[in-house]
Chains A and B, each alone.
Chain A
Amino acid sequence: MFFHIVLERNMQLHPRHFGRNLRENLVSKLMKDVEGTCSGRHGFVVAITGIENVGKGLIRDGTGFVTFPVKYQCVVFRPFKGEILEAAVTMVNKMGFFAEAGPVQIFVSNHLIPDDMEFQSGDMPNYTTSDGSVKIQKDSEVRLKIIGTRVDATEIFCIGTIKDDFLGVINDPTTA
């Protein structure tokens, strides 16, 4: 799920950036530092949408660096248990399949794939129903339900299931 929230961060800025463009430098450094990172609390920071306010800078003794407390608005993405997500399949093997929803890695074990879907090995491994009408392979898009999440410093892991009503393939690359 996406959230638009306000976060705060202390930014250290090198003295060479002081001057007319101080603010721009601060913002671009903030974007570089924050976008694409993960925190257990807020999930994955997708993008900074605006700066709320930049506090008073504090000059560090000895280095000349200045620390600014910056409040910024950003869009974060955090998966929740029970959430329904759409994800792209990245790898299929006999244990199940891996899918990605943006930065989130989701594993769907073969226990949580409907029983009528069987694993087919080969150069394009896939899970297929006995009548061949539904096929999950690399690059398929699936709708799945998150049943467990863990947020690392840099990654988000999820366990998903498609063994439920209204879940499964929503777009097959072979037919598209």
Chain B
Amino acid sequence: MYLLTIYIQVPPRNHQTSPRFSTSFPHSPQALNTRTGHATTHAASPRVSYLRLLLLSRVLQPPQPLLLRSVRFLTRSLSSGPAFKFSTAQTKAHKQENEMSFATDSPVHSSSSDDFAALIDAELGVGSSGSSSDEHDNEEEEIDGDNDDNDHEENEDDGEDELTDHRNKRCKIEKLEDQELQGSTSQGLIEEKLEVSLKKDICTHPGSFGQMCILCGQRVDDESGVTFGYIHKGLRLGNDEIVRLRSTDMKNLLHHKKLYLVLDLDHTLLNSTLLNHLTSEEEYLKAQSDSLQDVSKGSLFMLDFMHMMTKLRPFVRTFLKEASEMFEMYIYTMGDRPYALEMAKLLDPKQEYFSGRVISRDDGTQKHQKGLDVVLGQESAVVILDDTENAWTKHKDNLILMERYHFFASSCHQFGFNCKSLSQLKNDESEPDGALASVLKVLRQVHHIFFDELDSDLASRDVRQVLKIVRKDVLKDCKIIFSRVFPTKFQAENHLLWKMAEQLGATCSTETDSSVTHVVSTDAGTEKSRWAVKENKFLVHPRWIEAANFLWQKQPEEKFPVSQTKNQ
């Protein structure tokens, strides 16, 4: 990167000219500003400065396109552009006389430009003290030649310097386009290519929007990176950019004492059914549904235009409100996009929780899988709430598995339950100690441990470790043996329940001894079950472990009795 310093200063006695000059000027210093740091103004006249620029551009090899452009600009502002009438007049005069002095017959700003011309005259005299006037003339001719070429090139350049060129072209859009399409001179094309290759060296194309680089505006056609269709159509980010965004966002978020929370919709926060799947026993719901005018109060909605009925899980509003204070929340659903947006509207009518962070199956990168790659959050800080473990094969450690919420009968059937649904029983999950309430407690605990209890550096903490710690606490100090739970010849250690129990902090064993606290059995008649009753140990159904797994809490053992099976 070249740090380029341009010296331009209009002395105070030329007050009338200086504003005019500065208003026309932003074009080049701006362009310079973006890449070359600061353009400082100092001394000499514009003419001297463009000569200096030219000299600089010769010193710096290879020539920088920006530099060229600013030379061009200055050249034009002195010699060609009709907007700079006074200087044009001066330059013409200067050409005629072929000397280092300006004529004083400027038609526009006679008095001020006279002063200006005189000043330039004087300044040039100083500036050229080391070189002969012939040299200057040669240089100027060269620049004029360059300038002509540049004009060609810029026409093709999709309006690179559109604003200045428009003066000349007015509204000849047709002409402009023809030139764009065909390309006029080979030299122009070469120069353009040169510029493109130089720019490519500089720009890493961190991402694209509508197939244009978000940094330099060039067309990019590569398909690398991840699309973020849920944020805006046509947005795609490269992997490096995602990493960068995640780490900056992480700092910001940790500063606000927040983590990320990815929420599933169906069976986790709500339950939906198609209207024509409603059973006759559920018809009464149609009359009970809440108005869509003010969705913030209701929980049962009939969405006629989608042919759907949706029931929000009890406690969900409180849950979202409280969770939003600890987490930046995403919705991630396997439903399609219109459905996801509609549900987001029901859950978050004021758009205060999710604000565009709604991901549907159309936005994922893998079919039938959910992935954190489209979530702009570091994996070590994401907690996922979902009812389907299989959807998150890569991110099981981040997952808090939810007990499925089946309100409608069709949803029960879908998962093969033949029992009556909550809607048929005219019942619902309990608000104060339903699944969402218990999971909110877990989230609070996770948040508390992450921010207040861990000793390590904030950035190196991992919420997955915290989740493990919290989970290990659930069945702490329990020693479990299983009886008639696993099929014979099945490696007990590999069974789901065994693993689950160990994750929950229990120790599992195959042998009875005095340290055992719980016997998990499907049958009260087995030897181990009878031993448990005799030794006054807890005898519980396998569901006891599952319930603890879902509710993140040791459940009262009495609630899970083991019955005697008939054939015993």
Contact = CB atoms under 8 A, between A and B. Distances in A.
Contacts of B210: 105, 107, 150, 152, 155, 157
A32 B215 CA distance: 37
B106 to A, nearest CB: 28
Given A147-B216, A163-B34, A42 B158 contact: no
Given A121-B253, A159-B209, A42 B231 contact: no
Given A81-B157, A119-B249, 5 more contacts: A109-B215, A148-B213, A159-B214, A159-B217, A164-B26
Interface string A137-149: 0000000001111
Contacts of B253: 121
A101 interface: no
A84 B206 CA distance: 24
Interface residues of A, number: 43
A41 to B, nearest CB: 6
Interface of A: 1, 3-5, 41-42, 76, 78, 80-84, 91, 93-96, 98, 105, 107, 109, 111-112, 119, 121, 123, 125, 146-150, 152, 155, 157-159, 161, 163-166
A143 to B, nearest CB: 12
B30 interface: yes
Contacts of A83: 159, 162-163
Nearest to B27: A82
A91 B356 contact: yes
B206 A150 contact: no
Interface in B145-168: 157-163, 166
A157 B158 contact: no
Nearest to B210: A157
B256 interface: yes
A94 B237 CA distance: 12
23 contacts: A3-B171, A5-B174, A80-B159, A81-B158, A81-B217, A82-B162, A91-B231, A94-B376, A95-B207, A95-B245, A105-B210, A107-B232, A109-B206, A109-B207, A112-B214, A123-B351, A148-B217, A150-B219, A157-B210, A157-B211, A157-B234, A163-B34, A164-B33
B457 interface: no
B437 interface: no
B357 to A, nearest CB: 9
A92 to B, nearest CB: 9
Given A81-B217, A93-B231, A121-B252, A5 B173 contact: yes
Contacts of A159: 209, 212-214, 217
A98 B219 CA distance: 18
Contacts of A125: 355
B422 interface: no
Contacts of A158: 212
Interface in B200-225: 206-207, 209-219
Contacts of B219: 148, 150
A155 B30 CA distance: 29
Given A83-B159, A95-B237, A3 B173 contact: yes
B431 interface: no
B235 A95 contact: yes
Contacts of B159: 80-83
Given A96-B214, A164-B34, A107 B209 contact: yes
Nearest to A120: B252
Contacts of A146: 217
Contact of B218 (A80, A121, A148, A155): A148
* Max count, chain B CB within 10 A of own CB: residue among A4, A5, A121: A121
Given A95-B245, A166-B26, A123 B214 contact: no
